[in-house]
Structures are given as C-alpha cells and as structure tokens.
Amino acid sequence: MAIVSALQNQLIQLQLFEEYSWIFNLLFYVIFVVFIFYGQRIQMYVMLREVEGSLYKLKYIKDEGRKIAIETIKEIGKPQTDPTGRVDRFLEYFTIAPQSLDPAGVVWKLEHILDVRDVRFKDEVKLMAPAADETQAYNLENTLEAAMALNYIYKIIRHFYLLGKKTLSLYIIMQIQMILPLIMREAEAYASALKAFAYGQPIGDGAGALVAAKLMYGYETRKMPKDCVVATVPIEGRTAFVIKAEGPGGNVGKIGDAVKAIIDENEGKIAAIIMIDAAMKLEGEEVGEVAEGVGAAIGGPGVDQFKIEESILKYRIPINAVIVREDIGDAVSPMRKEIFDSADKAIDRIKQVILERTKEGDKVIIAGVGNSIGIGQ
C-alpha cells in the first residue's frame, strides 16, 4: 500500500511539472532570441570585463613602479625637496622620432634625438637625486625608464578600453583583448625589472656584458666612447679587444662607436668581429641556449647596428654573432641562473669561432652587448 501511495505522489508531482513546462519552453525561446540579437553585445561586454581586469592589474603595477622610483630616489638621492612632482613629470616624457619621408641621413637624426633624450634624462636624475654617485644615477635612470614604460603601457590599454566602451566597437575591443596576454607579460617583466634596477641587480639582457666581463677580468681596461670600456686580452694566440658597456651602473653604452674606434685605431686590420648579445627565444626553446650566426647582434633603435655595419663594410671585416636565448621577461628581470651559466658556454663558442675563423697573431674584436647593471669589469 505504501509503495502505491508513493507512486501516486510521484505521478502528481510529474503532472505538476507538466503543468508548468510552458514556462521552461518560454524561457528557452527568450534566451534563444536574446542571444540572436544581443549575442555580439554580450561577447563584447565579456571582453570589456576581461580588459578591465587587466587594467586594474596594470594600474597596480604602474602605481607600484612609481612608488618604488620615488622611494629609491629619496633613499639614494637624498633630495632637499619632495621629488614626487618631478617624477610624475618625468613619467610623462615623450620622444618624437625624426621624420623619415626622405630616409637619407635619418640614422644620424635619430642618434641626435636619442643623445638629447639621454642628456635630458641624466640631468633630470641629477636634479632629483643630487647625492647619488655615477653608478646609482645610472641605476635610477633605468628605474625611472621602467616606471615610464609601465605608465605608457597602462595609458595605452586604458585608451583602448575607454574608446571601446565609448564606441561599443567590437573591433577596437577585440584587438586589445587579443594582444592583452602579451602586453601583460611585458608589463610584469618591467615590474620585476624595477626592483632589479633599483637595487642594481644584473638583468638577463646583460648576458653579453657578462661574457665580456668574464673575458676581460684581470686585464687593464680603458674607457671608450661612449660609456664603454675595452681590454686587450690574449686569446688562443690572437689579440682580442674585448668591449662592454661600463659597469656596474645600468648602462648599455654606444657599442657601435666603440667598435668603430677600435677598427679605426687598427686601420681596419681586424680579422673578425664577434658580437655577443641576449636574443629573443621562441616558445619551446630553452632559456640560456647559446646559438651562433653572422651579423651584428645588437638591439635597440638601430643606430649602433648601422654604425657597426658601415665600419665593417668599409674594411670588409667578417662579423659573427653568438646569442643567448631568453624571453622579454627574462631580459629585463634579474638574471636567471640558466643565463648566468650560459656565459661559460658562450665563451667556449667564442674561442671555437676564433680558432676556426682566424689565424694566430690576428686581431679580433669581441663586443659584449647589453645592459651592464650589476656587472663590473
């Protein structure tokens, strides 16, 4: 009897459900219609929300960057007045690239603009941090540049976010949402670079400078134009002119000028040039992997590469490149162990190139390219 009454109860419940099933049907059709007409808009709002989340993170990183820069200036520079206003003004600095409608001579124009920028930055740092010594001033300049980069990234993303919100254009929102993971990686890399610059820790980009420093350690160095040092080192019976940016302050130097000066000093009698630099790795490649090739391995705006290429063309000097693979995050954050260990592998590769490509008694130039922060000589 109990089973029968339970079954009857179940039947009543089912009938109740059938009675209200039209509600579920209606709900289904409403959702269907809403998605047909507003699907794209919903997708857009989801994307906007995603960009907004990243924007919050960027704002946090940018604010931290500004805070670290101000704290470091106060700690090291011992300024008389509060440097906050000056730092805020510095973060908004911009550089206008030269006009390239007539490309002839654009490299020299670009070099001049970069020189003016460099002088201006150094002067600003001097005013902000009068008690900082040369090394600390270089590090402060790098710290401020990293904070500046973060400020710029934040502003660009905010611009597209607000523009997308204002115009409700799917394409504006979509393009920023699609490249967002890459931008966030870069921003996070700059965030870790801030501390490295503030404390003067070696960064991944300094792989080339580290190789040069290891080669020249123990030998007498002399200053070269501009902000570079050179040491004459005997390697495998050859005379090697080892060049790097002067450390341990955060500085990349003008390797192009230094290479040109050494070539001119030796009247072009250079058997080979070997350049060592950190280079972008592809996903799947190992960090710190050493690879070899030809060409001027040097990044930046291209002025130094142009100068080196001009000099080697004049005397037909063969140029070789040894690179240490790393990604953007590794390049600007404190040096990873893998990159540090790769310096010895790069030295072995350089020796191998010297043995294979030059004769005993030849002169070679070895240029370690990269930021010398935290790397002496």
Partner 1 sequence: MSKTPQNATTRISTFVLLIIFLTLALSLTALILATTFFGQDNKIIAGYLLLIGFIGVALSTYVLFQIRKRVLRLRIELPPIVTTIECRKCGFKIVREFQRGDYIFKKGELCQKCNENMLITAIYREVKEKEKTAP
d(CA 23, CA 10): 21
Tokens representing residue 304 in the block: 């130094």
**Please, what sign has the CA dihedral across residues 115, 241, 325, 194?**
negative
* Out of 83, 164, 208, 247, the residue judged to bind partner 1 by CB under 8 A: 247
Scanning 42-50, 103-111, 195-203, 307-315 for contacts with partner 1 by CB under 8 A, the matching segment is 195-203
With a CB cutoff of 8 Å and minimum separation 6, the contacts of 68 are 143, 147, 194, 195, 198
Q: Does 15 bind partner 1 (CB under 8 A)?
A: no
* Out of 39, 53, 105, 237, the residue judged to bind partner 1 by CB under 8 A: 53
**Interface mask (CB under 8 A) for partner 1, residues 151-190, using x and -?**
-------------------------------------x--
When the beta carbons of 45 and 93 are compared against partner 1, the nearer one is 45
Q: How far is CA 315 from CA 65, 224, 236, 266, 273, in A?
A: 46, 21, 24, 11, 12
When the beta carbons of 31 and 33 are compared against partner 1, the nearer one is 31
When the beta carbons of 150 and 275 are compared against partner 1, the nearer one is 150
Q: Does 63 bind partner 1 (CB under 8 A)?
A: yes
Q: How many residues bind partner 1 (CB under 8 A)?
A: 40
Q: Does 57 bind partner 1 (CB under 8 A)?
A: yes
d(CA 338, CA 287): 6
Q: Which residue has the tokens 């972008």?
A: 280
Taking the complex as a whole, the smallest distance from the CB of residue 334 to partner 1 amounts, in Å, to: 5
Q: Does 371 bind partner 1 (CB under 8 A)?
A: no
Does residue 338 sit in helix, strand or coil? helix
Does residue 324 sit in helix, strand or coil? strand
Print burial letters for 99-117: b (CB count within 10 Å at least 16), e (below 16).
Answer: eeeeeeebbeebbebbeee
Q: Does 368 bind partner 1 (CB under 8 A)?
A: no
Q: Does 201 bind partner 1 (CB under 8 A)?
A: yes
DSSP 206: G
d(CA 118, CA 68): 22
Q: Does 255 bind partner 1 (CB under 8 A)?
A: no
Residues that bind partner 1 (CB under 8 A): 9, 13, 16, 53, 56-57, 59-61, 63-64, 68, 188, 191-192, 194-195, 199-202, 210, 213, 217, 247-248, 283-284, 333-340, 374-377
